[in-house]
Amino acid sequence: MQDNAALNWKKPKAKKKEKMLIQTIKRLLKNKLAVLGLVIIVLQVILAVFAPVLVNYSPYEQNLSETQLGIGSPEHLLGTDNYGRDIWSRLVYGTRISLIVGISSVGLGLIGGLTLGLLSGYYRKLDGVIMRIVDLLFAFPGILLAMLIIAILGTSIVNVAIAISIWSIPGCARIVRGSVLSIKKQEYILAMKSIGASNSRIILKHILPNCLAPIIVFATMRMATTILSTSALSFLGLGAQPPTPEWGAMIADGQDFMWTAPHMSIVPGIAIMLVVFAFNVVGDGLRDALDPNMNLDV
């Protein structure tokens, strides 16, 4: 009898979650800019996954007899750079680097931020210590903090991902802490404590799932910042090193040829702009879609 009662209780709960998911998707799809952003992100993922199929030239292959060809050349759709390397190939393989660095750094940042935020929000004794550490990280401008970390670890795309992940921790921790402080005052949390539920069970099973909405929005918009920061650091020579096909490094390579071959910098610049725009508008769309006060009929 108890098993049947538990099963019957779980079914309405599962249906409610499914209904909320459908409503969230409907709200998101009503946002035209968010849909456009999703299309751009899906195209980026397709380019990254099927890069070897979509290009005819190696991104590293030099051909000094075909340097600085313009856009629309018969064999090179987006032209070539000053070493005769195909820009389309380098652009497509650069998509892989942007996605890998973005996902890894945001993922690591979320792990650190979630851990600190949950501990700080739930355990008041740890709150002061953890938040002072977070405030210390906030004292540095993000890009300068990343540059400092790279100066210590060395210049490489791996160290860029590590630096940006550390830079992502304080923002995530603040968001999670605020959510935990609000959620732990709810009656069902107090009820769980009164029946003797362990702190770990309350945190992982009841508080963390209710923090997911702001975390998803943060992660999506953080991807835009991460891709932009990766390109900026590579442009400064602190990230991807030649001849790695990274968008920021491609812009840096083309800055000396802006009058003779402007496409060398303009093409990767447009790629960065589109992807950053896509993640930002999707993040805005998710924020609105996950808002329970949002009117579906609007």
SS3 state at 8: helix
Q: Which domain holds residue 174?
A: 28-57+69-289
| Banded model confidence at residue 95, pLDDT cuts 50, 70, 90 | very high
Tell which wins on pLDDT, 87 or 12. Answer: 87
pLDDT the model gives residue 40: 95
Cis peptide leading into residue 214 (ω within 30°): no
| Banded model confidence at residue 144, pLDDT cuts 50, 70, 90 | confident
Name which of 218, 115, 102, 112 is nearest 161 in CA terms: 102
Whether residue 7 is predicted with pLDDT greater than 50 in this model: the reply is no
Distances from the Cα of 72 to the Cα of 69, 80, 83, angstroms: 9, 10, 18
Name which of 15, 33, 31 is nearest 296 in CA terms: 31
Tell which wins on pLDDT, 281 or 7. Answer: 281
Q: Rounded to whole angstroms, how far apart are CA atoms 167 and 66?
A: 41
- Is 78 a domain residue? yes
Q: What are phi and psi of 40, to 5 degrees?
A: -65, -40
State the DSSP code for 246.
-
pLDDT the model gives residue 13: 53
Q: What are phi and psi of 64, to 5 degrees?
A: -70, -5
Buried-exposed string 163-192: b where 16+ CB fall within 10 A, e elsewhere = bbbbbbbbbbbbbbbebbeebbeeeebeeb
Residues 6+ apart with CB under 8 A from 19: none
Whether residue 69 is predicted with pLDDT greater than 50 in this model: the reply is yes
What number is the average pLDDT over the span 131-140?
A: 85
Q: Rounded to whole angstroms, how far apart are CA atoms 97 and 160?
A: 11
pLDDT the model gives residue 10: 46
- Mean pLDDT, the chain, rounded, equals 85
pLDDT the model gives residue 88: 94
Name which of 200, 223, 2, 259 is nearest 98 in CA terms: 223
Name which of 61, 242, 252 is nearest 156 in CA terms: 242
For residues 247 and 271, is the Cβ–Cβ distance under 8 A? yes
Whether residue 251 is predicted with pLDDT greater than 90 in this model: the reply is yes
- Is 13 a domain residue? no
pLDDT 10s digits, 159-168: 999 999 988 8
Whether residue 295 is predicted with pLDDT greater than 50 in this model: the reply is no
State the DSSP code for 205.
I
- Joined together, the tokens standing for residue 225 give 């910042």
For residues 287 and 213, is the Cβ–Cβ distance under 8 A? no
SS3 state at 292: coil
- Is 96 a domain residue? yes
For residues 101 and 226, is the Cβ–Cβ distance under 8 A? yes
SS3 state at 170: helix
What number is the average pLDDT over the span 122-144?
A: 85
Counting every residue written for the chain, the total comes to 298
pLDDT the model gives residue 5: 42
Instruction: Report the CATH number at residue 248.
Output: 1.10.3720.10
What number is the average pLDDT over the span 124-138?
A: 87
pLDDT the model gives residue 9: 40
Which stretch of 24-28, 48-52, 128-132, 148-152 has the lowest confidence by average pLDDT? 24-28
| Banded model confidence at residue 2, pLDDT cuts 50, 70, 90 | very low
pLDDT the model gives residue 12: 55
Q: Rounded to whole angstroms, how far apart are CA atoms 224 and 279?
A: 5
pLDDT 10s digits, 204-245: 888 888 888 889 889 999 999 999 999 999 998 888 888 889
pLDDT the model gives residue 293: 52
Question: Domain count of the chain?
Answer: 1
Angle separating helix axes 124-138 and 87-122, nearest 10 degrees: 150
Whether residue 146 is predicted with pLDDT greater than 80 in this model: the reply is yes
- Is 295 a domain residue? no
Amino acid at the residue 2: Q
